[in-house]
Amino acid sequence: MNRNLEVTSIAMSLSSVEALAPAKTAVQARRAARSDLTARGEPFLWGFGGALALGLMMVFGFLVLILWNGLVTFYPKPIKVLTLRDGSRIAGEPVRSEYFRPSPQQLQAMDDRAREMVAAEDGMARRTLYRTGNFDLYNEDFKWVPDYNVAKVSTPSNIYFIERMEWGPFVGIIQSLDLGGEVQSGAVLDDRTLDDAVRQAALRRDRIRTIEREDIGAVNHRMNGERLALRRLGIRKGEGSEAFQEASRAYSLRTAELQAQYNLLSEEARSVKEEDARFKVTLVDVQGRQKDLPLSQIVRLYPANGLSMPEKLGVFFSRWREFLTEEPREANTEGGVLPAIFGTFAMTILMAIAVAPFGVMTALYLREYARQGKLVSVVRICVNNLAGVPSIVYGVFGLGFFAYICGGSIDRIFYPERLPNPTFGTGGLLWSSLTLALLTVPVVIVATEEALAAVPQSMREGSLACGASKWQTIKHIILPRAMPGIMTGLILAMARGAGEVAPLMLVGVVKIAPELPIDQFFPFIHLERSFMHLGFHIFDVGFQSRNSEAGKPMVFVTTLLLISLVAMMNAMAIVIRNRLKRKFMVGHF
């Protein structure tokens, strides 16, 4: 009887389970259908991936744009000679083309053929920008030429692109060459004679520059040093003292000797200039205007339409060499950027030297020594907020505190004879580096704290258990293993500091630096001097030059150089960081 009851109950249970199974399956299906996308996160996954792809495309697109425009800047282009419908002629390098809609006045001034060309383009017209050069003749470097005004286009092989020390490039034909009284016609002039004459003229130009800048500059430096030494003695002991009178007589004798050296050097420079004036070239533009030019004013010339591929590459690499090793000219739109390269590199290195110890010591105290509490939390909040302060505020602080207060005090104590002309009491390389160190120190502090926190606590306890002191534990256990993280913070600080411009405009950077911060005069490194910077150079050329079109190529190539310089310095720091990581693989940040 009991056995029959058990069989009956089991059968009823199975039937109830079978009856509930379809309902349960339906509920699970509805639940899976309702929560499938949100549970697995496909929409968010696609959104995250799309955002990453978009960011990478923007970064790589920017780099490709800078790389392409920077690399092709110095490649020589052909020169086209345009004969316009009114009979005038224009010669220049084509820069770019665009479509525009002519104004009613322009349409009224067109002939029937030009109107037909515009009508065929649905009321639009195409125009090309040409770099015509010859600023001293035309008062412009570039000219827009609509296609409907062009009657004929040619590329003659005898037209030259001539880069000059002043007035920008000249586009025209060599009519004659005067080699110290021996005149040769441009029609029969061979390239070897012309290249040799330009090379000899460049040597004379360099000789004149050496005499005026280095030799005469050294004499002027010594004369100024003697004057300052005499004035310093007068401030200390009074101008009526016997020591001052004796020093004044010695100063007169030394000044007379230096003046004699100055006169000899000036006479030598004048003699070289007179010799150089005998060598000149007569140029003619496509409109028939003549221009006599000393050969020493020519930097580079070449027949733009008659160059072979090796000759084009020779011009390309010659321009790159000039860009990396020479000083700027023509309001920074031509020439080189060596002073800006040196200034950017020196400022970044000095900033790193200043920011590293202060940032690391602050982070060490906050993490290892300070008692954790509300005060330390407030300090951390303040450090994090400092990273969001506008950089121009740091520039104002650096100018007021470093230049005016610290620098002014240094001038009054150590350089009273130079006053009222400031030495350290104005913007300079040192104050710029310290200002950027303040700007980037929060980055180093935060990165260093994170690196210190990543070192396992067991290492600290093991070191202390073995009898090491607190400082010995930090020096030999914690800091070596946190060094990769510290280097990461320093890399970020260098990358940000090298690209900052706003604070530098107040504390030391200038458009043209007449003297590099390093020279042959003691103490050889002059941190008080103003300097040039690649970031400010980009701003100046792109927005402050007389012709934005002339400065646009230099903007791209200087941007490429700045990115390369920052990447090189960061690569050096990354190599050091990776070596430290391999040495301390445990607990690194």
pLDDT digits (tens, 9 = 90+) for 566-587: 888 888 878 887 877 777 655 4
Residue 273: how many other CB atoms lie within 10 Å: 17
pLDDT of residue 39: 58
The reported pLDDT for the residue numbered 238 is: 85
What is the DSSP secondary-structure string of 390-447? -HHHHHHHIIIIIIIIIIHHHHHHH-GGGTTS-SSSS--HHHHHHHHHHHHHHHHHHH
Compute the average pLDDT of residues 412-425: 90
Check if the beta carbon of residue 126 is closer than 8 Å to that of residue 98: yes
Cβ atoms 498, 567 nearer than 8 A = no
pLDDT band at 144 (very low <50, low <70, confident <90, very high): very high
Helix 242-277 and helix 191-209, axial crossing angle in degrees, nearest 10: 170
Q: Can you give the pLDDT at residue 169?
A: 92
pLDDT digits (tens, 9 = 90+) for 206-256: 999 999 988 998 999 999 999 999 899 888 888 888 888 999 999 999 999
Res. 37 pLDDT band, cuts 50 70 90: low
Nearest to 92 by CA among 101, 100, 83, 82: 82
User: Residue 7: is its pLDDT beyond 80?
Assistant: no
Q: Is the confidence at residue 492, as pLDDT, over 90?
A: no
Instruction: Record the pTM.
Output: 0.84
pLDDT band at 41 (very low <50, low <70, confident <90, very high): low
Among 482, 451, 498, smallest CA distance to 355 is for: 498
Is residue 81 scored above 60 in pLDDT? yes
What are residue 259's phi and psi, to 5 degrees? -65, -35
* Full 3-state SS string of 2-41: HHHHHHHHHHHHHHHHHHHHHHHHHHHHHHHHHHHHHHHC
Main-chain phi, psi angles of 159, to 5 degrees: -90, 140
pLDDT in tens, 446-457: 889 888 888 888
Percentage of the chain lying above the pLDDT 90 cut: 35
> Phi and psi dihedrals of 163, rounded to 5?
-90, 125
Mean pLDDT for 109-131 is 86
Cα distance between residue 406 and residue 392, in whole Å: 19
Highest average pLDDT, of 236-245, 283-292, 515-524, comes from 283-292
What's the pLDDT score for residue 35? 53
Tell me which range, 403-407, 418-422, 460-464, is most confidently predicted by mean pLDDT: 403-407
Task: Give the pLDDT of residue 14.
Answer: 45
The pLDDT-based confidence of 15 (bands split at 50, 70, 90) is: low
User: Given pLDDT bands bounded at 50, 70 and 90, which one contains residue 262?
Assistant: very high
Where in 53-155 does DSSP place strands (E)? Answer: 80-84, 89-100, 125-131, 142-146, 150-154
With 0-12 / 13-18 / 19 or more C-beta atoms within 10 angstroms meaning exposed / middle / buried, residue 449 is buried
β-bridge partners, 170: 162
- Reported as a single tens digit per residue, the pLDDT across 331-366 is 788 888 999 999 998 998 999 999 989 999 999 988
* Choice among 44-48, 228-232, 550-554 with the minimum mean pLDDT: 44-48
Has residue 8 got a pLDDT over 70?
A: no
pLDDT for residue 526 is more than 70 = yes
Tokens of 168: 């920008």
Asked whether residue 388 carries a pLDDT value surpassing 90, the answer given is: no
The pLDDT mean for the chain works out to 85
For residue 5, pLDDT beyond 50: no
pLDDT confidence of residue 259:
94
Closest CA to 225 of 237, 236, 235, 217: 217
pLDDT at 182: 86
Read off the pLDDT of each residue in 5-28 and give the average, rounded to a whole number.
49
Distance spanning both ends of the chain, measured CA to CA: 76
Integer Cα distance of 11 and 89 in angstroms: 108
Structure confidence at residue 20 (pLDDT)? 45
- Kindly tell me if the per-residue pLDDT of 189 is higher than 90: no
Give which of 221, 99, 114 is closest to 520, Cα–Cα: 221
